[in-house]
Structure 1
Amino acid sequence: MLDPFWILVAVVVLALVFDFTNGWHDTANAIATVVGTRTLPPWAAILMAAVLNLAGAFFSTAVAKAIGEDIVDPSNITLVLLISALLAVISWNIITVLLGLPTSSSHALIGSLIGATIAFKGAAVLKVDGIMVILLAMLISPVLGALFSGSLIKFIRSLFRNIPRSRVKRVFKYLQIASSAFMAFSHGASDAQKSMGVIAMALVAYGAHSELTVPAWVKIAAGTAMALGTAMGGRKIIHTIGSRLSRLETPQGFAAETGAAILLTTVAKIGVPVSTTHTITGSIIGVGAAERLRSVRWSVAGKIVYAWILTLPGTAVMSYIFYQVLRVLEG
């Protein structure tokens, strides 16, 4: 049996690797529209997103506590269980980013924690109420994103209806840079907290903390790992969201990003772990559909939905298998 300290180190390292793959996977969430509308070149957009992802990581710890306490009680968590969950979610992120599928890292993490917990102690120790609230929020967030962003683009079009379209596009070119920056910040505020929650659970399982808290070094490490992953950029997913899902102009990109970012920062402060991928994708669909239903490539949207549906059960099965293999480490 390995020294528990080194298992704790492995959990922290894997949590930061997950954060890295999350940033790599979710670069598109912040910059797909600004790249898709050719407002910024990819390198500049990626650099901006990396810096603001890091800044967003310090916004709140409410989501970290929800991940650490609302899925399963930390007293029913072991370090090997967390390693199994992290291996599953990292594998899922790598597979889907190579395929160019914008799936949810949040959904994947929840599925992985559920699968590994069932393998360890069975489904009875899961907090069903907490899981249902999280899943409901994940289902509602893209709908709210679509409605809010769709309403915003309609307002923008009515406000600027007597101004030449070319001039409107020039004005919103600069506004969209600001909205993309806001979206990058909100992504860091929401998603960096998820690995913070895992590390906080590991510290409780190891015995370093008696209750779930997020130390400053965890915030710094998680924010930095996500920023580095974002800097790598998942270009296939950027193309899927920014170009293939719907044809966007700068006012539409501004509306999609602003609507999604407002929603994400709000729920991050409340402590509800929703999916940034679901939210921005729903916002882009809402903006496209608000102007013309045919402007949305529904076949691409359908493939994204299939990937979403597969994420939770897929990662749950993977983490269940990983735990069955690794449980020998617990003696």
Structure 2
Amino acid sequence: MSRPKVAFIGTGGTIASLGHGPLDVQEYGSRGQVMHAEEILARWPETALVADVLPIHYRAIISPAIGFSEWKDLAALCSQVVADHPDLAGIVIGHGTATLEETAYFLNLTVKVPVPVVLVGAQRPSSALSSDAGMNLVNAIRVAASPDARGMGVLVVLNDEIHAAREVTKTSTLRLQTFRTPDFGVLGHADGDAVAFYRRPMRRHAPDTEFDAAAIDALPRVDISYAYAGGDGTAVRAFVAAGARGIVAAGFAPGFCPPGEFEALTDAAGVGVVVVQSTRAGSGRTFRSGRLRQAGILIADNLNPQKARILLALALTVTADAEEIARMFRTY
């Protein structure tokens, strides 16, 4: 029986890193030894037991340095790989965990391929004792090759768990179970005997979206204002002065801001900046109260601030109409 073909794109991160020794689980970045896709597969030959894995060379880059340029590259690379290999079952992207959820959500809104795209990372480098890199990679390949993963949008796999790109977030600095879906839980599990799904994402996702990364030269500036007791709106006014076209307010739960910040956000909305109310709580929906409506402020639904920022930036490449942007937040 032939094995499925899965492409593996390596971008760097902990999963690609080699530290100073088996007990180095924190300072490995200082060594500066980061493997490319073909080297990672050679480090973990067990990947060949589950699929024919095609390494795709890309730049090795720390995930805090990843942004729109890399997101656009990855979306284009996914399309190119599928065009070059029509028998491809799926794509896996290795990524640092710091911004993994943001890359996953951007691709979930823009990638245009019919096969599953799965992002994977690790909390411990490949050189560490009890590294999670190898099993995470094997499981991500298994998920990408699974027929059940088709039509699910972009997925994230770590710690034997399968998450939807829209819903997952990093919740712990060092623990292996750091990636969680706070409100709804996992989509399924990658267990030793099977890849098992139990639910499907309901919001619209790749490849059926209205956003096209290839047609965008740069994302409009969208900033995040973080609420705290006594906040006076200085950051909001600075963002407006810097040319922000959108601002996401990471407010108190369930979506409030200090009076000074709310005044600044209202002023920003009044001069044409699109303001979206999210929450710093990490879980739950915001709601569009009468006060927000009167101020012209939209809501992020249950998107966390960093993902609301991505959707707002992409929305602003299509329209500046507030009602249309509100529709997009209800849709995606």
TM-score (norm 2): 0.25
Q: Which has the higher helix share?
A: 1
Higher RCO (CA-CA < 8 Å; seq separation 6+): 1
